[in-house]
Structure 1
């Protein structure tokens, strides 16, 4: 069992380590945009989420090649140790699209909300000179922080939904749940495109929690810095993503939030939190063979390759494509017969509940519901496993052992 630092969500040997910090809880907020108030799906939001998730992954592939000089294996070309207790941040589920909570940056510290995203590795916020789509967001003013230092490098992050974040890179002090990373690389954006406007993106910024090899900055991500600077007792963080009580734990896991043992699977390639999914089961029957899976808290959907997703829906009675109603890659199922879909990792199968699989009715009065498993031509040899699955389990990300662990929620 890991000793945790718990962060509620609104989702090394070092010399002279500072005294341990008490556990810190950060409350999270929730808002919904994928499902309309009448229980129907917001098709535009679903299409944006699919484009965002697949393009984010492709961008990470490009960063990996730039940083390592090698093509990412999944890139098919488609586009005396001082122990600390754990610290927790309360998470908020924004329309089942984002899990966000609070961090502080600078000296004196200023508080910001960020999306905690295991599918990327960089921290960015709107800068003080951002005048495009930044209204309503709290801006980072580097000149107001005595610990800020301009590294004289720019950045530009492009997303498949057309949104772009670009600006200047800085080093500054970043604190999450009482744990502090000094000289942490972050981006101060001079441009937020419409995808990051307050209407579409509630938190102020985004904090990536992947490995450095997919960092656009090619700099240690926040969690890696916390570990290297002796701020955590273990190189572990964990998520409970649920309709209530969502929490990020930094420095370990919280055994009160799950039952039974942890099922742990090795990370097959450091960059994303990438592992092997053994198979998919429909109503208890195995349908697929093993495939690589990226575990991504910054993605709402479960995204798979077209052939396998077609095969899975073919095994679901009454399912059919929803190309015209929702978009390419989406399917509907009878609302009164939501399937029991299970993803198998290691020695265990973890089921997706009907509540999380069902994204909403196709239209008002319809008896057809949109499924949370979606096909994408970009996902050729891998899946992106997001919120539709992760809301059903407790997830542990271990950067020391380089493994991902799952357990059933309490």
Structure 2
């Protein structure tokens, strides 16, 4: 309720409340984050750690209780020397928090409503590589509540007080945006930054924890709660807030109704070598670098790939990955309401391990955490222009340029 009182008070006094020149949308450049690694195994361990952090979001409350009691033991914490870097599939946008602004590179997460940033009061070793938010240096920062805590199945725990402050992303700036200033961290992978821009679906609790998109709409800086993501291997990736960018896709956008009130989920089909291997719910999560699914359905998918085999933890660093012949990558596709999007075979290659020449690690892998859905991360979004329309409760797909 404090947030609403503050927001209404600011709306009455602020010149930003009303028509805004950016109401038709604006492009915000994205860049792919790099992760320091020692070798291929360390890289895959870090991805597995990140995957489990994401997967737990899609459990019911009862499932979370069971899983969180027993962190995933398949992830081996080696803390290797860090001497080179790889791109992780985590895409970031520069955001500014406070007055005067403090700058951060925030990972886009369509799987989380929460915007997070590490606090200047965090003294844990895991916080050492992060840029930190210092509320004492902001004239517009205000503490809203004392504690917010999230626990992940990987063993990661983050907590801290909730603040409101001025947040700027691209050409958009809003007052009293809610976010968590994390001052306690356990289990964060070495070298990983925690700043997150939450872009998940708003639900009944959004009046106390509005997303950045919600706040923009409230202040009428955009006309509708809609944004689009275009990811590219070159330097023109973007988050487009307020609509779609026709310069980034071919043809029309095909829309499907969202399947639940919590996540950006649709009904879809996953095929490999022209054979349907999964049909059901799929969730779009830009905070996930790969594509993951339940143990059984992902195994059925890989059974159609000649030479594919399950990758042992001592090879890949964690359970759930598959190896396949690099020179025999299959054709694969995803279909939504009869609209098929075909992927280049090389998009299936997640990594090449020096210890196993000729074999590649697949970008589609499995986790015991999920039971009834696949999660489509940025590996999917690099090949499909994706639109998130909260006002009309729909998700759109188009062929990227």
2:364 aligned partner: 373
| 8 Å Cα contact 2:321-2:362 kept in structure 1 | yes
Matched ranges for 1:250-399 at <5 A: 250-277=241-268, 279-288=269-278, 290-324=279-313, 325-326=315-316, 327-364=318-355, 366-399=357-390
| 8 Å Cα contact 1:153-1:168 kept in structure 2 | yes
Q: Distance in 1 between matches of 2:26 and 2:394?
A: 25
Is residue 118 from structure 1 mapped to residue 107 from structure 2 by the alignment? no
Matched ranges for 1:57-96 at <5 A: 57-58=58-59, 61-62=60-61, 95-96=87-88
Q: Distance in 2 between matches of 1:41 and 1:362?
A: 11
Deviations, residues 356-386 of structure 1 (Å, cap 9, x unaligned):
2101224345211111111122211111111
2:138 aligned partner: 145
| Deviation at residue 224 of structure 1 after TM alignment | 1.3
Q: Across the two proteins, how many residue pairs are aligned to each other?
A: 366
Deviations, residues 228-281 of structure 1 (Å, cap 9, x unaligned):
22111332101011212111001011111111211211111121111111x221
| 8 Å Cα contact 2:52-2:369 kept in structure 1 | no
Equivalent of 2:215 in 212, 225, 235: 225
Q: TM-score, normalised by structure 2?
A: 0.83
Q: Distance in 2 between matches of 1:162 and 1:345?
A: 35
Q: Distance in 2 between matches of 1:33 and 1:77?
A: 31
| 8 Å Cα contact 2:104-2:131 kept in structure 1 | yes
Q: Distance in 1 between matches of 2:343 and 2:38?
A: 22
Bigger helix share:
2
| 8 Å Cα contact 2:112-2:198 kept in structure 1 | yes
| 8 Å Cα contact 2:284-2:377 kept in structure 1 | yes
Q: Distance in 1 between matches of 2:86 and 2:106?
A: 11
Q: Distance in 2 between matches of 1:110 and 1:294?
A: 32
| 8 Å Cα contact 1:282-1:342 kept in structure 2 | yes
| Deviation at residue 409 of structure 1 after TM alignment | 1.0
Deviations, residues 276-298 of structure 1 (Å, cap 9, x unaligned):
11x2211223233x211110000
Distance 1:217 1:361, change over 3 A: farther
Equivalent of 1:128 in 116, 120, 127: 120
Distance 1:193 1:29, change over 3 A: farther
| Structure 1: unaligned runs, 5 residues or longer | 1-13, 63-70, 80-92
Q: Distance in 2 between matches of 1:32 and 1:318?
A: 31
2:182 aligned partner: 189
| Structure 2: unaligned runs, 5 residues or longer | 1-14, 69-84
| 8 Å Cα contact 1:266-1:403 kept in structure 2 | yes
Is residue 175 from structure 1 mapped to residue 168 from structure 2 by the alignment? yes
Q: Distance in 1 between matches of 2:370 and 2:58?
A: 9
Distance 1:112 1:32, change over 3 A: closer
Distance 1:33 1:129, change over 3 A: closer
Q: Please identify, of 95-104 and 129-138, the stretch whose mean Cα deviation from structure 2 is larger.
A: 129-138
1:240 aligned partner: 230
Q: Distance in 2 between matches of 1:36 and 1:128?
A: 29
| 8 Å Cα contact 2:258-2:394 kept in structure 1 | yes
2:74 aligned partner: none
Deviations, residues 202-240 of structure 1 (Å, cap 9, x unaligned):
xx6111101234979951111111112211133210101
Pairwise CA RMSD: 2.9
| Deviation at residue 407 of structure 1 after TM alignment | 0.8
Q: Distance in 2 between matches of 1:273 and 1:94?
A: 28
Matched ranges for 1:191-210 at <5 A: 191-195=184-188, 199-201=191-193, 205-210=195-200
Deviations, residues 8-27 of structure 1 (Å, cap 9, x unaligned):
xxxxxx99515414976655
Q: Distance in 2 between matches of 1:34 and 1:320?
A: 28
| 8 Å Cα contact 2:52-2:154 kept in structure 1 | yes
Q: Distance in 2 between matches of 1:94 and 1:17?
A: 44
Q: Distance in 1 between matches of 2:98 and 2:211?
A: 16
Q: TM-score, normalised by structure 1?
A: 0.81
Is residue 249 from structure 1 mapped to residue 250 from structure 2 by the alignment? no
| 8 Å Cα contact 1:101-1:113 kept in structure 2 | yes
| 8 Å Cα contact 1:126-1:188 kept in structure 2 | yes
